[in-house]
Structure 1
Amino acid sequence: MERISKTSCYYFYGKEWKSWEELCANFIWEIPEKMNAAFYVCDAHADDKSKVAIFHEDGTGRKGKITFWELMSITNRLANYLRSQGLNQGDRVAICLPQRAEAIISHIGVWKLGGVSVPLTVLFGPDGLKYRLEHSGSKVVIVEDTALDALRKIKGDLKELKQILVVGDVELKENEIEFEEALAGMPRNFDPVELEPNDNMVLIYTGGTTGDPKGVVHSHSFIFHVPGNYALLCNGEIKPGDVFWHPSDYAWAGPLFDVAFVALFYGKPILTYVGGGRFDPEKAFKLIEDYGLTLLHIPPTALRMMRQVKNPSGRFELSSVRVLMSGGESLGKALPEWVSNTFGPQTVIQEAYGQTEATPLTVNCQRYFEYKYNIGKAVPGLKVEILDDAGNVLPQREQGEIAIGAFDGNPVVLKEYWKDTNATKAKFKGNWMLTGDTGIKDDDGYFTFVSRKDDIIISSGYRIGPSEIEDTLIKHEAVVEAAVIGVPHKTRGEIPKAFIILREGYKSSDELKEELQGFVKKKLSKHEYPREIQFIDELPKTTTGKVKRRDLRKMEGIISERK
């Protein structure tokens, strides 16, 4: 693809604005007629062969780095391999990898071919994987060896699946090939397919409160969603020596599209760290020191864990951090104050709001306005308002549903829910995309998040839909009915709690609770199991037989604004 110059709007036109309002008033999206997202996060920065794109480290201490030139070469080889296997534009490739360099390589390689990447977590059990792979129609799966057993149990049921690329050292079976072996011998030159901006790029599954998980489709123009991140994560400027990091799995929109591909878009390196699946707060401080990390996106749950580490400022060099942002749940005041005291006055704390369907939507940017312990102001180029139930914009200081202007040329809002026209239609009201969250906008344009209207559970930054947990529980021979809600947790924010009606002949016990938790871990996912279980004789229901989750929350003493 022909080299093109930087699109200046995504650098705020390289100038200092008098105010945030002036910046937003002058912002105009720049989206080319033909494009490929892979170019902007890889090939565009490959002329300098020494420019680092990825620092990588694993739990054993092995370290390395990949330059943009090397990244271009590796992703070209992957694109050539996928083409040799018969993949074409629009074909889906599932990427079941944790936070490691191969995940980034896989997304970019798939995009270059015009394919659609489908990020999945290695925490999924057979049932969780099967639904997503069947629903997406993925033809290839790139999987870490730790998740291979779960995939092997269901691969015979996947009619569309043709090939499995394995990252790791394991004995291979039919239709499996080692990732590096697949790329070996492939040409290192590949011209990224020129696409329409609205062509599908990525399919990300998000938890739902009813029915099956939804597949959120974003197009190639979504790669230009970065102005919000430029304001938020970069505080309105890119500096020499910037290194980005998010500690979470690359199966989710936040780590990928609010950090990793933002950094690469701006030609800056990311850190990938594979630490064995559990967040280690001590190691997080050590990574900051070792790599001179400057721009961090750390979920509130991880920050609370880091807060428990004794004397981090005395034990680790933390002065490199210039911005630490967080989101997914309210930060309050205690965490931002701890960040300031621990990291020092050079570190700016930012809070933001977004969702898989559109991210980010509101941001803080202390370069231009004061942080008031809320989710900040609307991103440049986006129209964000508070609506009533009829879809009318409410006056300031009135509570309603947070909504984003759609169909106005912005690349941030999702294209559609995969194979679900009804859900896609319900997501929009007129020219607005509905978030399902309630909030308030004040006279100065600041937004405050109030609550979620739906029943999504956010636990340790993961968005968990209760219906999948319920569906898995009732597959156990002891369970007649199950209902799941989120309950408060000191560290994780929320955790899933299951209310279960047992089948006749079974008695409640701690042993049965542990058995049911292990059943969900094995069948569905290690991060979605109900951490609390209560056996109950009857579930509260509506006259039509729907479980009244609101009544369950009342039973737990949870004061909720959810509808």
Structure 2
Amino acid sequence: ANASKIDEAEAKFDKKIKVKLITEGEREGWININELWKESIQAEAADTKPDDYLFYFFTSGTTGMPKVVVHTHYTYPLGGFTTSSWVGMKKGDLHYNISQPGWAKFFWSSFFAPWNMGATILGYHADKFVPNEQLQTIQDLDVTTFCAPPTALRVLILEDLKSYDFKLRQCVAAGEPLNPEIIDVWKEGTGITIRDGYGQSESTAMIANLPNEKIKYGSMGKPAFLYDIVIADDEGNIVQDCEEGNICVVHNEETINGIFKTYLIQKDKMMKVFKHGLYYTGDKAYKDEDGYVWFVGRDDDVIKASDFRVGPFEVESALLEHDAIMEAAVVASPHDLRSNAVKAFVILAPGHKASEELAKDIFRYTEEHLARYKIPRIVQFVESLPKTISGKKRRVELRNQEAVDKKNKTIIPNEYFHEKY
């Protein structure tokens, strides 16, 4: 299904791909992978150097166009040890990682983490994500360690988790910050606490809640052992505890961690992310007095309303605690007086229907659980949200469409305004 896309892209360049393997059917210029199993093939190792390029990863592109990230032979596999320690993987484990192969997290969790520890990886191909089939597979194959993005977990927790006999030992989540509501439901249904972690296509797991350590619900955890994480301002100054700033890594070319080597094409972006002796991740957070890191939002996603800065994740987490809401995305909506108002796009849980009465109930709920300047002033009920291949919300698309709709004074179905809008 994807071979034609590769051929189309290859045709635009002079250089040709040396080897193309196809898993289903026949196609000119491709080798069917089944041909490789017909005879014993002795592979000859290439003469590579530690700093040679190993992987090209595309970033998720949550706020703009994806960038091509280059990792090397030496640092990236070693950087995978932080993922191993975060998952709590050990020899003999059967690990299941729900992720698309195009996502860097696929290599974190489906290759280097189990390879480093001598664990086994479960590969489960499904054309469509069916929650009960996923849970049945985890039960029937005795999966012991499990990783999934919050997008998948939000659907899995709607099932009767207690009806399964899991052999799970460790569970983690990555891709977007983990909402406390998911942790509670999963723990009640399986007896296992899902532990959040943080990293990027440009790195491996940089911040994590490790096994047997105290967990603060809503926090991404503490810096992983290969990464010197600081919260800094735009000038490179480390900010005080509980003060919002940029998530940065103290950067030294001689230090071994999973930080990428370069962007392949967008070289101009390098000076933006490597400065003041730091690598700037582009994410905002704060670190508390105990060293736990709390995610605020992607730099471009932070909402500026009435001179206040609002992190979308905190508002989304509060919304998800409402019984009627399965998923939510929060963005800035242009407003004549506030500059921006906080708007929530909401996907309802099964059994609930969009209505003005439900919108008012959601407004009341957020008033009880959030500071006044953080409460959504607009709610729009939707069927789906724009996402990247790794399940991260593309808030930029919602934000851009919102600007167009407000400029054109578009009447939007299932959109409701707070009385104090």
Normalised TM-score (structure 2): 0.69
* 1:387–1:394 Cα contact (<8 Å) kept: yes
Q: Give the structure 2 partner of residue 341 of structure 1.
A: 188
Secondary structure, aligned partner of 1:301: helix
1:451 and 2:297 aligned: yes
Matched residues in 1 for 2:200 and 2:417: separation?
Answer: 27
Matched, 1:216 2:216: no
For 1:283, which of 133, 138, 152 is the aligned residue? 133
Does the alignment pair 1:187 with 2:41?
yes
Alpha-carbon separation, structure 1, partners of 2:170 and 2:146: 6
- The alpha-carbon distance between structure 1 residues 208 and 398, as it changes in their structure 2 partners (threshold 3 A), is same
Instruction: Return the offset for 1:401.
Output: 0.7
For 1:41, the equivalent position in structure 2 comes to none
Count of residues in Structure 1 that have an aligned counterpart in Structure 2: 333
Q: 1:397 to 1:307 in 2, by over 3 A?
A: same
Shift in alpha-carbon separation, 1:199–1:399, aligned structure 2, 3 A: same
1:451 shift after superposition: 1.1
Deviation at 1:281, TM superposition (A): 1.0
In 2 relative to 1, CA 489–274 (structure 1 residues): closer, same or farther, beyond 3 Å?
Answer: farther
Shift of 1:258: 3.3
Give the C-alpha shift of residue 382 in structure 1. 1.4
| Structure 1 residue 187, shift from structure 2 partner | 3.0
Calculate the aligned-residue CA RMSD, in Å. Answer: 3.6
Superposition pairs for residues 108-119 of structure 1, below 5 Å?
none
C-alpha displacement at 1:351, in angstroms? 0.7
Equivalent residue for 1:418, pick from 249, 261, 264: 264
Q: Which residue of structure 2 aligns with residue 11 of structure 1? A: none
1:254 is matched with which residue: 84, 92, 105?
105
Q: How does 1:75-114 map to 2 (within 5 A)?
A: none
Offset at residue 419 of structure 1 (A):
2.8
Shift of 1:437: 0.9
Q: How far apart, CA to CA, are the structure 1 residues paired with 2:404 and 2:168?
A: 53
What amino acid is aligned across from residue 287 of structure 1 in structure 2? T
State how far apart, in whole Å, the 1-side matches of 2:288 and 2:266 are.
Answer: 35
1:385 partner amino acid: V
Secondary structure in 2 matching 1:353: strand
1:373-411 alpha-carbon deviations (Å, 9 max, x no partner): 310000013111110121100111111111111115122
Structure 2 match to 1:238: 90
Superposed displacement of residue 343, structure 1: 0.8
Deviation at 1:171, TM superposition (A): 4.1
SS in 1 for 2:165: coil
Contact 2:26–2:32 (CA under 8 A) maintained in structure 1: no
Structure 2 contact 103–390 (Cα < 8 Å) conserved? no
Name the residue aligned to 1:325.
172
Q: Contact conserved, 1:244 with 1:260, CA < 8 A, in 2?
A: no
**How far off its partner does 1:325 sit?**
0.6
| Cα shift at 1:428 | 1.0
Structure 2: gaps spanning 5 or more residues: 303-311, 314-342, 350-383, 408-414
Q: What is the TM-score of this pair, normalised by structure 1?
A: 0.53
Q: Distance in 1 between matches of 2:170 and 2:390?
A: 31
Question: How far apart, CA to CA, are the structure 2 residues paired with 1:410 and 1:399?
Answer: 27
- Partner residue in 2 for 1:301: 151
* Structure 1 residues 102-501: aligned runs within 5 Å: 146-153=1-8, 155-162=10-17, 165-173=20-28, 175-181=29-35, 184-185=38-39, 187-190=41-44, 192-208=45-61, 212-220=65-73, 221-234=75-88, 238=90, 240=92, 242-276=93-127, 278-309=128-159, 311-314=160-163, 316-318=164-166, 320-344=167-191, 347-407=192-252, 408-454=254-300, 488-490=345-347
Q: Which amino acid aligns with 1:329?
A: E
Distance in 2, Cα, partners of 1:301 & 1:359: 20
Tell me if the contact between 2:81 and 2:113 (Cα under 8 Å) persists in the aligned partners.
no
